[in-house]
Amino acid sequence: MRAKQLLLSALALGTLSGVLAVGCQSYDFERVEPLSIAQTTVEETITVRSRKPNIMMLVDTSGSMTDPVDTSDPDCQVVVGDEVDTCGSQVPCNTAVCPTRWTELQAAVPTFLASAGPYARFGLTTYPETGGQTSGTAACRPSTQASVRKSLPQAEDDASLLAHANDINAIIQGIPNFGTGQPAGGTPTSLSLRFVGGLEGLQAEDRTDFVILLTDGLPNCNPDNVNDGTTAACKCTQTGTAACTGTFTRLGCLDQDASVTAVRELAARDITTIVIGFGAETASGNGPAVLDAMARAGGFARTCEAGQDSCGPNDPCDPVSRTCSRSFYQAGNQEELAQALEAISKKLLVQEPCLIKLDPSQLPTEDNLIVVYLDGERAAPGDSTWDPNVKANGGVLFTGAACQRIESSTPDAPVNIEIRAIRQR
């Protein structure tokens, strides 16, 4: 370190360059870039045994969920009369060769619920609530108490919560792609969000509350929509010559404003809404703008890590706010939906309480350039404190007695952690 101290002292006197003449001697000095040092301080208050969050899954079971995930797949084409059409809500798809949005959702959900189940209190509500009728306004009925397929549990222990999450998965797996109880109807998103926000289980003040909205279509079915099919302001979500007319003059119009307002109402009551779009309708046309506005209002916009300039194709990252250009999670198939659910799980749940992760910009230049304090006392690395391999672990991994101390923490007896890391550039 002595050489660096001399260098810094010399630089404080000014930049030396060229040739310096002293008597008959001449000395060549090499230009050296100044040393830059930055310190990162990370403070965490750990309460591992804090009350686990409520997560109500609001799942879209509208008719379009039985559409293929890939409408261009030849295996998804069927003969209807004298014409060839795409299978879906009218003619069931052969899901063995033509997966639908619903079967892909069914395939993605089990891993999410199994891994996240012990760490949260999950519930399941579906919409619309057609009551088995799909004609007329019955297709547009929002969620009711009958739509709550599984209420939020009262349990807190890991085993009971995992069993509850597995029950939710069984319910989802039991909804057929075709036949009695299959997905059907419209997409009454705003009114269903308002219903969920009124559920008693989401009114507690002693834990955080979330709604995961998983939808494959544009919100509609609002009888109080300010727009109707007689005006250009109505963005019709239906097809056919009779679209957005008669009974559906308002029900068929895009219900963006009311849906965003419903999300804001939930946020005002400290209920965070996480938005997942699934399928072609949410990835193009009016879909991205609608779901993006809902996600921003919900308080859970997608973010990127320090140093990332992109969140994906055509999805730049704001280097200041670290938010992605697309705020909602978009998935087109089972794999992408599973990835979205995993990303959400990592942000919501404390599954590794003894690892304090650091962004790449926060990691020290060398492992020895870091200091850790536990409840105000400096802790040296070791088997009973923390692992010195900070860069390999992506943060500070507490071990032994220190980890046990963290795992035993409660809201009344938290563990305060301070990490100071040095970066040299």
Domain map (residue ranges) of the chain: 1-35, 37-48+353-424, 54-219+255-348
The CATH class that applies to domain 54-219+255-348 reads alpha beta
Q: What is the side-by-side order of every strand in the sheet holding 37-46?
A: 37-46, 415-424, 370-374, 377-379
Q: Residue written as tokens 């690892």?
A: 355
**H helix or E strand, kind and range, residue 341:** helix 334-348
β 77-80/83-86 pair status: antiparallel
Average pLDDT over residues 121-143: 91
Q: Token digits for 3?
A: 């050489």
Q: Are the CB atoms for 302 and 355 separated by under 8 Å?
A: no
List, for residues 141-182, the tens digit of each pLDDT value: 999 999 999 999 999 888 999 999 999 999 999 999 999 999
Tokens, residue 312: 């994906």
pLDDT class of 18 with cuts at 50, 70, 90: very low
Residue 260: which residues within 8 A CB-CB, separation 6 or more? 293, 294, 297
Please give the model's pTM, rounded to 2 decimal places: 0.77
Flag whether pLDDT at 246 surpasses 80: yes
Which pLDDT band holds residue 80 (cuts at 50, 70, 90)? Answer: confident
Residues 6+ apart with CB under 8 A from 173: 106, 110
Averaged pLDDT, 84-105: 94
209 neighbors 272 (Cβ within 8 angstroms): yes
Cα gap 379→283, rounded to integer Å: 50
**267 pLDDT exceeds 70?**
yes
Average pLDDT, the chain: 87
Provide the pLDDT for residue 48: 52
pLDDT the model gives residue 46: 54
Whether residue 11 has pLDDT greater than 50: no
Terminal CA-CA length for the chain: 15
CA–CA gap between residue 216 and residue 199 (Å, rounded): 23
Q: Please determine, for residue 12, whether its predicted confidence score (pLDDT) is greater than 50.
A: no
Residue tagged 């079971």 (tokens): 61
Residues 31-71: tens digit of each pLDDT: 545 555 666 665 655 555 567 899 999 999 999 999 999 99
> Can you give the pLDDT at residue 8?
31
